Amino acid sequence: MLSADEARSVYDEADLVVSAQDAAAAVQRVAAEIEAAMRDTHPLVLSVMGGAVIFTGQLLPLLAFPLEFDYLHVTRYGDTTTGGELSWIVSPRAPIAGRTVLVVDDVLDEGITLAAVKRRLLEQGAKECRIAVFADKDLGRAKPVTADFIGVRLPNRYVFGFGMDVKGAWRNLPAVYAVKGV
């Protein structure tokens, strides 16, 4: 965790990557794409905590069709900047079998976490598992999973804001920033 002064320093030195206006427009566009593709499926929407809370909170009110909502909490990062072992903290409480599931997450980075989530949901009997991410990071290589709905594309930098954190700080920002030098 960063102290308040350390967090302010990271923010003050960061590069703006996606403005708040562009982030809001991306959420609107993704909502329209999801609406067109899933309005007749009565999906179970699963938000991946805690990164997806901002995206999910802005996305759900824009979906004008019936859905069920739940969440899951799985991470590879914790308070570090590099991925580690997958840790399941909370599994969905809602029944998965036979359901169309939409997983909502903040960022598709290496794809290891989302691939594991999708695999587990399909193993639990999901009829279909689709993925919506606010951001897809360009790593310059294939990932083990792809998102069906993508808000913005990001460069391969360590980013924060709009649900993504830097050592526990700045998930609450309405825009996306990149850590200077990382």
Q: How far is it, in rounded angstroms, from Cα 107 to Cα 31?
A: 16
pLDDT for res 181: 81
- What is the architecture, at CATH level 2, of domain 20-154? 3-Layer(aba) Sandwich (3.40)
pLDDT for res 129: 98
The neighbouring-strand residues paired with 164 are 161
Q: How far is it, in rounded angstroms, from Cα 98 to Cα 132?
A: 20
pLDDT for res 86: 75
Query: 46 — phi, psi (to 5°)?
Result: -115, 120
pLDDT of 87 > 90? The answer is no
pLDDT of 15 > 70? The answer is yes
pLDDT for res 77: 56
The neighbouring-strand residues paired with 84 are none
pLDDT for res 118: 96
The answer to which of 1-10, 29-38, 85-94, 134-143 has the lowest mean pLDDT is 85-94
pLDDT of 82 > 70? The answer is no
CB–CB of 123/71 below 8 Å? no
Domain assignments of the chain as residue spans, ordered by start: 20-154
pLDDT for res 50: 87
